Amino acid sequence: EPEVTQTPSHQVTQMGQEVILRCVPISNHLYFYWYRQILGQKVEFLVSFYNNEISEKSEIFDDQFSVERPDGSNFTLKIRSTKLEDSAMYFCASSEAGWADTQYFGPGTRLTVL
């Protein structure tokens, strides 16, 4: 069964550094998403992406964050100048169609900012 994959599974970085989290969505899916879950808190929506542009973003997704689909398979989340409070599990998801379709999640990347 096709699945969403994410790398790395765990990333440790120093405060102020840039990180790139990578995701490979399911191959025939057209919509892509990033969510995060700070330890002990709810899973929160960050951004959705379609046709090479952001379709929706939350207030969390400020100028520190950016997303890109650099080729036909990868979908990345870049966090510039990481802060301690960026430590969280980051989940990528994809869906075949948009609003009405089920989102399938990857296993997550645990980001630890020291």
Partner 1 sequence: GDSVTQMEGPVTLSEEAFLTINCTYTATGYPSLFWYVQYPGEGLQLLLKATKADDKGSNKGFEATYRKETTSFHLEKGSVQVSDSAVYFCALRGGDYKLSFGAGTTVTVRA
Site residues (vs partner 1, CB under 8 A): 4, 6, 31, 33, 35, 41-45, 48, 55-56, 58, 91, 93, 98-100, 102-108
Distant-in-sequence, close-in-space partners of 7: CB < 8 Å, separation ≥ 6: 22, 109
Q: Which is nearer to partner 1, 33 or 65 (CB)?
A: 33
What is the closest distance, in whole angstroms, from the C-beta atom of residue 53 to partner 1 in the complex? 13
Instruction: Give the three-state DSSP class for 63.
Output: coil
Q: Which is nearer to partner 1, 18 or 68 (CB)?
A: 68
Q: Calculate the alpha carbon distances from 4 to 76, 83, 100, 104, 112 in Å.
A: 13, 27, 19, 7, 22
Q: Which is nearer to partner 1, 2 or 16 (CB)?
A: 2
